[in-house]
Amino acid sequence: MRHYEIVFIVHPDQSEQVPAMIERYKGMVLAAEGKIHRLEDWGRRQLAYPIQKLHKAHYVLMNVECQSETLAEIEHAFKFNDAVLRHLTVKMDRAISDASPMMKDEKAKNLLDAQPAAEAEVSA
């Protein structure tokens, strides 16, 4: 399996649907026996240039290990989701699980670290 870094930008009016989108794309990777090494929700951020007359958007980063067929399925889902304004997929040499430079921003949430903590609170 190959390693990929995926960043997608979601329309700011659809920010409340981002967790459901993340779960859907995460489910696609895990269903195909892939692995998610890093998953970060960067939140709403200023765009470098306007896209569809928008100046802000919701950013999400995923580092995954999956087959190329799974990646094609995810990219196909991005193309047919009107809320996804842009997406970028980069093939990586190795798995990257360290926090990204954007994680230094206090608004960003590492979703992989947040899940075990949430499960611990539920069981307590």
* DSSP β-bridge partners for residue 89: 6
| Mean pLDDT computed over every residue of the chain | 85
Residue 122 has pLDDT above 50, yes or no: no
Which CATH number covers residue 14? 3.30.70.60
- For the entire predicted model, the pTM comes to 0.80
| Alpha carbon distance 84, 10 (integer Å) | 4
Would you state the pLDDT for residue 114? Answer: 61
The residue range of the domain holding 88 is 2-123
pLDDT in tens, 36-74: 999 998 889 999 999 999 999 999 999 999 999 999 999
Give the rounded percent of residues in the chain with a pLDDT score beyond 90: 68
Total number of domains constituting the chain = 1
| Alpha carbon distance 43, 7 (integer Å) | 12
Would you state the pLDDT for residue 112? Answer: 67
Would you state the pLDDT for residue 103? Answer: 73
What is 33-93 written as a DSSP string? T-EEEEEEEEEEEEEEEEETTEEEEEEEEEEEEE-HHHHHHHHHHHHT-TTEEEEEEEEES
> Which pLDDT band holds residue 110 (cuts at 50, 70, 90)?
low
